[in-house]
Every structure is written in C-alpha cells, then in structure tokens.
Amino acid sequence: MSLFFLRRAKPLLLSPSTFRRQASFASTPLTNLLSRSFHSTVIMSEPEKKIETEEDLERKKKKEEKAREKELKKQKALEKAKQAELKAKQAKDGTNAPKKSSKKSAKRDASDENPKDFADPETPLGERKRLSVQMAKQYSPAAVEKSWYAWWEKSGFYKADSKSSKPPFVIVLPPPNVTGALHIGHALTSAIEDTIIRWKRMSGYNALWVPGVDHAGIATQVVVEKKLMRERGMTRHDLGREEFVKEVWKWKNEYGGTILGQQRRLGASLDWSRECFTMDEQRSKAVTEAFVRLYKEGLIYRDLRLVNWDCVLRTAISDIEVDYIDIKERTLLKVPGYDKPVEFGVLTSFAYPLEGGLGEVVVATTRVETMLGDTAIAIHPNDARYKHLHGKFAIHPFNGRKLPIICDAILVDPEFGTGCVKITPAHDPNDFEVGKRHNLEFINIFTDDGKINSNGGPEFTGVPRFGAREAVVEALQKKGLYRGAKNNEMRLGLCSRTNDVIEPMIKPQWYVNCGMMGKEALDAAINDENKRLEFIPKQYTAEWKRWLENIRDWCVSRQLWWGHRIPAWYATLEDDQLKELGAYNDHWVVARNEEDARKEAALKFTGKKFKLSQDPDVLDTWFSSGLFPLSVLGWPDETDDFKAFYPTSVLETGHDILFFWVARMVMLGMKLGGDVPFSKVYLHPMIRDAHGRKMSKSLGNVIDPLEVINGITLEGLHKRLEGGNLDPKELVVAKEGQMKDFPNGIPECGADALRFALVSYTAQSDKINLDILRVVGYRQWCNKLWNAVRFAMMKLGEGYTPPLNLNPEAMPFSCKWILSVLNKAISKTVESLNAYEFSDAANTVYAWWQYQFCDVYIEAIKPYFTGDSPAFASERAHAQHALWVCLETGLRLLHPFMPFVTEELWQRLPSPKDYQRAASIMICDYPSVTESWTNETVETEMDIVLSSVKSLRALRAELLEKQKNERLPAFALCENDSTSEIVKSHELEIRTLANLSSLEVMLKGEHTAAPAGSAVETVSENLKVYLKVDGAINAEAEREKIRNKIDEIQKQTEKLKKMMSVSGYEEKVPPHIREDNATKLAKLLQEFDFFEKESSRLDAEMVVGSGQQRQKH
C-alpha cells in the first residue's frame, strides 16, 4: 500500500470563508492593520501615551516589522490563490502553462505552508471542536481525542428520553468501586458496552447507558482506615462510628469520582444525568425497601452459622473476597499483626486420653490451636479398630471437657491418617455440619480480633491465635501428648483486602433464603418453553445451572461501619434476663425507619416496656449491587424511567462474578421487579498479560489503560511501582518484569486504538492475553486511516459537492466493486453485532477499510486522477462520488468502535447540497445494506483481478531483489473466452495494482510460445500469468519450481487414478461423483502437459543463454 509514501500535497480543505477572510484582511490598508494590531495588544494609560522611551520605540518598530511580515505572507497566499485560479482556467480553455519541476514545486509548496494551519485552535470547554484549516500530516491521538467528549456530553447526545416512542435499549454499567482507579478490566467493559450502546443509538433505539459507583464497603473502609492511621495515628475505634463515617463521606466526596472521570477519557457515552451512587438517597431507599419486603415474606432471617471472618477488619466477608493459595509443604508467611512469620503447611499430631484408662486416640490437624474448641472425636462406624470405643469419651487435656466418640460415615475416611478426626464445630465448615448432625456443642474460642477468649481456658486467654498455635504445641509436649509434625499440602484462604488469614467463625448473621428464588432464576435460563435469559457465550449456561442447583442461603450482614445499616432493631425488654444485643432471636423487628420499628415492637410486645437498638451491622455490598438494575431506574417508586426502561436489555460483565452479582440481580429482579432484570448476559474474558499470567503488582505486569492511552516511559512505569506498597524483593522482580515487557516504555496509543484492540480480543473465550504491541498496531492503523482519508479528500478537491443519490450501474468497475463489498461489510458487521460477536464485527470493519478500500480501491482509481485527462472525466467524477460515499459510510460503520477519530474525520467531509446533516456522527443512522449496490458479478470478476495481481506480485517479490517497484510487462494466458474477456476488460486495474508497464492477454491455442525471459504463476485452472523479467530470472530456480509443480500434479493424478480404478468403482460410486472425478483428472492432465511444455521452454532458453555467454567470451 503506497499511502505511506504519498507526495506532500498542497494545503487542503481551505474553506471559501477562509479565502474571504484572507482577502478582506489583505485588502485592508497597512496603516489600519498596524493600528488594529497595536491597539489590540497594548493598553496604555493617558500619561504613558504622551511619553515614549527608546525602548518603547524599539518595541513599536519590531511590532511594525512583524505586522509587515504577516501582511507579506497574506499577499503571497492571495497571489497563490490567483495563480491556482488562472491555472484552472487555462486547463478549462485547453491552454497549458509551462511545466515546472514537480520536485521544486513540492519544495516550494512545503516552504509556503503555515504550520498554524495544521494545528487545531483551542476549543472552549463544551463547545464543538474547532478544527485546523488543513488536516495534520500525521495522526496524533492526543490532538484528535481532545475536546470531542465535552461537546458530546454538553450537547446531550448521551441522554435517553423516558417519553420517547423509540424502542428502548438499556445497559447498566457494572458499578466500579468508589475507591478504584481505571484498570484494564474496566477498559474492556467500557469498550464493549460503548460499542453496543453507540451502535444501538445509531440504529434508532432510545439508548440508555446508566453510570453508577459502588460504595464498596470493605474496600472503602480499609482505604480510609489506612489514611487515618497514616495521617493521624488513629484507628476507627479511636474515632468512633459517627465520626468515622463522616470521614468516609468526606473522602468519597473528594476522591470518589476519579474513575468516572477516567471513563470519559475512554469515550464512554454514559448518560451522566442519571449518574448514581449505591449509598445516595434513592438507592438507600431501595435497599431498605428490599430488605423489609423480603423479611416480611419470610425470605430474610437471622441465624447462628459459620462465616469467613477477617480478624483485621473484624467482619464476615463473602467468598469472592477470599483468595486461596496452595501450600505444598512447611511454609513461613507474613500475617498482619504478627512480628514474625507464621508457619503453615504442617500437620500436627497429638493424643487425646480416653476416659476410664482405655488408652488414647491420636488425631492430626493443620490448626492445632482450634483443639481448644473441640467438642467430639469422630470415627467411621465400620472401622474395626475402634468398635470398642463406640459411645465412649475422650478427655480434653486442658479443661477436662468430655469429648464423645461419635460415628460419622460422611466425614471420616478410615484409610486416611489414624482414622480419628477431631471435631471443632464452631471453627471448621465440615465440623459445623457434623455438629449439626450429632447435636454437638458449638464453642467459639476466638475474639473478633483473633485472640483466644475465655472459652479457650485461662492458660491461653488473650493470646493471638497464631501465638496460641505455638503455646498449645508446647503445652501438649509438657503433658506428653504431642506426637510429632510433618509437611502437609493445604489451601489457605486470605482476605483479598487485608491479606489476613481467614478464620471460620460461628456468628449470628442475617441470611437471605435463596431456595425458591434460585430455582426461578435457574428456570429463566434453562426452561426452553419460557426462556427469558440467554447467556453469551452459551457455555456459561452450564455454570449457571451448577451454581443455582447447589445454591446456599446468602449471608448479607457485615460487621463494618461503612455501608447500608441493616433496618432491624433489637428490643431489650425490661424483664429480660440477658441484656446484650441479640441475646434472644425473637426480639428483632424489621422496619423502614425507627418510628415504624417502635410501632412494630409495641404490637409485638404488647404491654411490655422495651428499649430499641438498631443492629450495628451493615449489609453486604452485593445486596445493594444486586438491586442496581432496579434502583438506578427509581425503584421502589413507579418512576417514568422504571416504566420505560425496566427490564434492561443486556448485562455485560466478567464471567468471574456470574454468581456473586449476576445471579443475585436475577433473583432480586424477578422477586421485586416482577421480571428478569435483563434478557441477555454477555460475559467477557478475563485479561492476562501477553504471557498468559494473571496481572499482579508483584510481577510488574499490571497495565493501566491511561498509560496506554497517553504513553509512558520505562522510568515512569518504575516510578508507579515505587509509589506502591511492594516490599524490596518484590519491587526488584516487578521492575525486571517491566524491563522485559516494556523495554522502551509504552508508546502513546490513544483511546480509539486501545478500545479497538480490546474489542477485537473478545474472540478469546475466557482469557485475553493482552499484548501491548497489538494496541500499538491499531494506533499505526489509525494513522493509515488518517492518511487514506487525507488522500481521498485531496482527490475530492475544494469545491466538491456530494450527490444525494448514486447510480452504481453507470460507475466504473472498481467503484461498483467497492460499493458491493461495502454492502457485504455492513451486512456482516450488523449480523456480528446482533450475535454479540464483537471481534468478528471489528475485524470485518477493519478488513474493509484496510484490504479493500485502502489497498485496492484507492490504488485502482489513481489513474483517473493522474493529470486532467478528458478521457477519464466521467470515471473521475464517479470515483469522487464513490470515494465520498465510502468515507461517509465507512466512518459511520467504524464509529462505535473508534468514536474519536471517526468524529474528527467525518466532521471534515463535505455535505450534499441543500442537505441538513446531523450535528455529530454519533447521532447519524448506522449503515444498512443498499440493495442496488450489491453486484456479485463484479465481485467475482474482481476476485480474478486480485488473484492475478497477487500472483504477479509474488513473482516480482520472488525474482527481483532490486528495482522491485520497476514497472514490468506481463502476459495473461487464458484457458477460455470468458476468462479472456474478463482479464481484457479489467486490464487497467491489473496494470495499476500490479505495477505493470503493459499486460498482453493471450487465449490458449492462439499463441505459439510463451514470452521469453518470463516466469509463470498459476492464478487458477483457467488463468496463468507471466512476468517478463529478462536477465533477472534464475532459469534454474524457475525450472526447479516447475518440476516441483509437475511432481505434485503427478501425485494427485496417481491418487485419483488409483481411486477410480478400484473394484466396483463404476457400480458403487454415484454418477455425479464419477463425472467430477473425470473432470478433475482431465484438468490435472492438462496442467501436467502445460508445465511439461514450460519446462521444455526454460531448457531451451537456458541452452540459448549459455550459447550467448560463450559467444561473448
């Protein structure tokens, strides 16, 4: 493609208004100009006007000189315009001015250019972008992506109207954490969702994309707690709940909008008028209403169960907030709150003495400190070794507690270890179930901050849990009950926020009963008769089924201070024996506010005195997130938005939160909103680095989207790492990783290139291995797009006016072809978008622009614009019209993927006369197929043209080391008249695209010999092409190539003959297949004959060549 090597063009896109402005400026008297310039820049007081120093006079002189220079430039520009006008008149009259050297002319044009004409003027915020007079010669992402977004937003192009008669299309942005900054996962979400919403908006939908931010209970509390400790040396407990919550709101208001601002940089066309926060007034109202309704229906209840407990945060956390690491053997790990590393991956064995002197039983555990809460020892009922212990007891060595020997076939594997298992129902999930099955005592031995409580015995009370681990081993050794330790492979759960080791703890919590709601959510996706929910890709339907068939009740309470306070009040009655909060489970009342709670309690405890206290816990963040499709549209109120836009259309998110978020939205949406909250769920892949590794700060492979958009040096990447919290060893590894992956940093790519790369990656099913070089490639492609449009605009010329309608039948061949393949690109793109195959859609648009418009069409029409030949006047006009249609339609086709560059280029296109076009490309119609453009015959003929060109280019590349761009003669040998007619009729296109000096078309049988000094390439069974390269041909190498072809044909012929000669061939093989095989054989024999003759020709040429060489010597 030669667009990169275009000659410098004369300045383009000078509007008539610009000429008028220049002309009036030039005709203004010089004195007036000087006066105007002087008084517009200098303001003097009356006394200063009377006295002028030498410096003043010198300054004045310099200003006058500058003004004269400026005036001179203007005069030159005017003169140049007049010359151009004269030249055009001469061309029209048939007279020609003397030709000048094109190189000298190009140099003069370049020197006459004003750099300011190529730079965009400053645009006031929110106004339509002010474009440079001339298109810049190189694409610059920073320049192109500036100003457009603020104008789009201020113009209201993103806003949806609840009163509109257009069909609604709604997406809710998965609310990012208020603490967050944009990461590459957010960028992928935005790229996909913005592509969808822009496409739907352009396709005539009332498109709504709702932005919101999640209050992120744990994450935000952790951030503010760290800030408090760093700046004031205080914990939240030092500050108190009320003051701490004020601090969090203060932090949120100051820093919480960062990520939404960054979404703007990506070009996300969100309806900012509907922006919401999960803890704003309307969303908080929805959360309270949902909790109350579910409680009234018996779907929310309070129970004592095992939870994931974080001893640093002092709260229960959800499964998704637990990261698991695999430990192979004894390993020392740093744990928050401990000065020295803690030992994991060790199985400790110890003995429990049996009651009545019956001996001992040996058990083993990786958490020996939990033996302080043991309440039983389990054996398998069929284990003969312990038959005599059925119904017996062991004695706890530290507190004398009697531990029953119980039989449990579900938990105990008699082949594993000693066959005896210690049971700690309050601190192990499996033991918890055993405790329920056997009605065991549940003894919690830990305080909320992870110290041994009084249940652990006076010897250990107040000792941190991992300190107690060592103390218990020591105490067992003293009592002679320690039986050793060995390496043990295990999985360890860590809190993703604090890195604390998760402790299973039994706690009273609020739960949502998910049984029936889960079944309804499952049926919505798998009930073929009434399917209301579709997953894309389809593979996730099976995962949906797996999750919801085994769903457990959902713990929705958290022991945090930041979040939605649970709307439940505990009534402490005057005559209650136990006064602590929650002592009696039937003393809870749930209401929308304290006033309603008081009324409820008065009815429940008639005639009794009570004191109300609100539950200090807050709701799981996923509870408010689960309500998001409802709450963002105004639920529980019957708002216009809710009536118009619920249910939404599609949910787009990562597959990792299919259960934690998607399932809960579906359950709550169906229960409270009366319908599934969306009909489609598109689950995008997870992003890894180019090597397939998970992105991690410690590896140095985390990619910040803004660093890709704006570019960053290697030093800048290192600086970001240094500002983090990596320890020195991790920092060294991370920097090495960055040096390996980004030795020169990351070049500026822009938002368009990043978006396009991310969308094109979505074909990878569940993981994206993101290579920044691919993004860089699309940034370079933006430059190619820019140059193609710039070149096309030059060919349109200054005064060009596009037509309102096209007549493809009257157009040249290449114009018919480009419109036909554009039609196919439109059809395929829309089809792919409808199927949520975004990678296919992006690649289709890319392929049309790159391989059909740039590589073929622009090159094919160049002869029409070479000089002002009257012979091509009609073709030139048609080519201009087709060019404009391709640019205008192609940019609209590309816009949802690359919004910035397409808007910039589209705004530069001329409009048809008396046609009022839309203000922005983003509110234009998305392209649709135009039936009259489709021309299969033309496409078939162009396939022959392009195949011929490809073969000729291959010969050129193979044979010519130097002068590869030299125009050479070529020949086409056609097997039949129809092929000959096609090649003859498109000789110009083949010559142009293959860079030939001539093309002679020969029909087989009408020529005696192939051209001497030429090489041959087979295009198809009906067409072969020769490229005449004379002395450049290596006859020996060419003969070897032909021999290889002959060998290949012989193999195929023998294989086919063998198949046709098998016994029963004539009787068993259908006639149409026998006929096909006979035709194939005839063609193979024909090819064999052709290449045998070619081989003989080359042999003869070699003999002649060697004879000539001898004569020379």
- 3-state SS, residue 459: coil
Question: Torsion over CA of 295, 298, 304 and 308, rounded to 10 degrees?
Answer: -70
The residue among 954, 819, 806 whose CA lies nearest residue 886 is: 819
Element (H, E) at 1053: helix 1035-1060
pLDDT for 756: 98
What letters, b where the CB count within 10 A reaches 16 and e where it falls short, cover 403-436?
A: bbbbbbeebbebeeebbbbbbbbbbbebbbebbe
| Stretch 42-46: mean pLDDT | 33
Is the pLDDT assigned to residue 194 strictly greater than 50? yes
CB atoms within 10 A of CB 1067: 6
Among 7-21, 53-67, 1047-1061, which is the least confidently predicted range? 7-21
Instruction: Find where tokens 């098998």 sit.
Output: 1062
Q: Strands, E, within 537-609: which ranges? A: 554-555, 557-558, 568-573, 588-590
Q: Is the peptide bond before 537 cis (omega within 30 degrees of 0)?
A: yes
Report the C-alpha gap between 364 and 19 in whole angstroms: 92
- Let me know if 1008 is exposed, middle or buried by CB neighbors in 10 A (0-12, 13-18, 19+): exposed
Structure tokens at 818: 């480009």
Which residue type sits at 777?
Answer: G
Q: Read off the DSSP letter of residue 46.
A: H
> Helices 184-202 and 838-847: crossing angle, nearest 10°?
70
Q: Is the peptide bond before 425 cis (omega within 30 degrees of 0)?
A: no
Q: Checking phi first, is residue 452 left (phi over 0); if not, alpha (psi -120 to 50) or beta?
A: beta
- Let me know if 125 is exposed, middle or buried by CB neighbors in 10 A (0-12, 13-18, 19+): exposed
Report the C-alpha gap between 681 and 690 in whole angstroms: 27
Report the C-alpha gap between 299 and 511 in whole angstroms: 8
Percent of the chain scoring above 90 in pLDDT: 67
**DSSP annotation string for 800-845:** ----SS--GGGS-HHHHHHHHHHHHHHHHHHHHHHTT-HHHHHHHH
Q: Radius of gyration over alpha carbons of the chain, in Å?
A: 40
Strand partners, 754: none
Among 3-7, 86-90, 491-495, 1029-1033, which is the least confidently predicted range? 3-7
- Residue 349's Cβ-side half-sphere holds a number of Cα atoms within 13 Å equal to 13
- 3-state SS, residue 917: coil
The residue among 4, 17, 14, 16 whose CA lies nearest residue 135 is: 14
Give residues with Cβ within 8 angstroms of 804, minimum separation 6.
912, 913, 915
Structure tokens at 385: 């070794």
SS3 annotation, 381-421: CCCHHHHHHCCCEEECCCCCCEEEEEECCCCCCCCCCCCCE
CB atoms within 10 A of CB 472: 25
pLDDT for 1104: 54
The residue among 926, 920, 903 whose CA lies nearest residue 834 is: 926
Q: Read off the DSSP letter of residue 450.
A: S
Confidence of residue 74 (pLDDT cuts 50, 70, 90): low
pLDDT in tens, 633-668: 999 999 999 999 999 999 999 998 999 999 999 999
- Asked if 570 and 561 count as a contact pair (C-beta separation under 8 A), the reply is no
Is the pLDDT assigned to residue 802 strictly greater than 70? yes
Confidence of residue 34 (pLDDT cuts 50, 70, 90): very low
Report the C-alpha gap between 35 and 43 in whole angstroms: 13
Most confident of 8-22, 471-485, 1046-1060: 471-485
Pairing of strands 650-654, 618-619: unpaired
Is the pLDDT assigned to residue 171 strictly greater than 80? yes
Phi, psi of 501 (to 5 degrees): -75, 125
pLDDT for 1061: 84
Give me the count of residues in the chain: 1113
pLDDT for 876: 94
> Helices 772-796 and 750-760: crossing angle, nearest 10°?
120
CB atoms within 10 A of CB 888: 21
Report the C-alpha gap between 554 and 625 in whole angstroms: 14
pLDDT for 624: 96
- Let me know if 913 is exposed, middle or buried by CB neighbors in 10 A (0-12, 13-18, 19+): exposed
Helices (H) and strands (E) in the chain, counts: 38, 33
Q: Strands, E, within 165-258: which ranges? A: 168-172, 206-210, 212-213
- Residue 795's Cβ-side half-sphere holds a number of Cα atoms within 13 Å equal to 28
Structure tokens at 80: 């140049």
Structure tokens at 422: 């210690």
Confidence of residue 104 (pLDDT cuts 50, 70, 90): very low
Q: Read off the DSSP letter of residue 504.
A: E
Element (H, E) at 165: none
Most confident of 62-71, 722-731, 853-862: 853-862
- Asked if 517 and 671 count as a contact pair (C-beta separation under 8 A), the reply is yes
- Let me know if 104 is exposed, middle or buried by CB neighbors in 10 A (0-12, 13-18, 19+): exposed
Strand partners, 1003: 974
pLDDT in tens, 817-871: 999 999 999 999 999 999 999 999 999 999 999 999 999 999 999 999 987 777 7
pLDDT for 474: 97
The residue among 954, 839, 979 whose CA lies nearest residue 897 is: 839
Alpha-carbon distance values, 360 to 103, 366, 839 (Å) = 103, 20, 66
Q: What is the mean pLDDT of the chain?
A: 87
Report the C-alpha gap between 759 and 403 in whole angstroms: 61
Q: Is the peptide bond before 677 cis (omega within 30 degrees of 0)?
A: no
| Stretch 203-210: mean pLDDT | 98
What pTM did the predictor assign? 0.81
Q: Read off the DSSP letter of residue 214.
A: B
Report the C-alpha gap between 891 and 899 in whole angstroms: 9
- 3-state SS, residue 1002: strand
Pairing of strands 376-379, 402-407: parallel
The residue among 362, 366, 344, 365 whose CA lies nearest residue 353 is: 362
Phi, psi of 1034 (to 5 degrees): -100, 95
- 3-state SS, residue 427: coil
Structure tokens at 803: 């037509």
The residue among 542, 605, 615 whose CA lies nearest residue 574 is: 605
pLDDT in tens, 377-388: 999 999 999 999
- Residue 531's Cβ-side half-sphere holds a number of Cα atoms within 13 Å equal to 9
- Asked if 945 and 986 count as a contact pair (C-beta separation under 8 A), the reply is yes
pLDDT in tens, 502-540: 999 999 999 999 999 999 999 999 998 899 999 999 999
Is the pLDDT assigned to residue 27 strictly greater than 70? no
Confidence of residue 353 (pLDDT cuts 50, 70, 90): very high
Q: Read off the DSSP letter of residue 928.
A: -
Report the C-alpha gap between 945 and 1016 in whole angstroms: 16
Structure tokens at 499: 């890195």
**Measured CA angle at 149 (ends 145, 150), to 5 deg:** 125
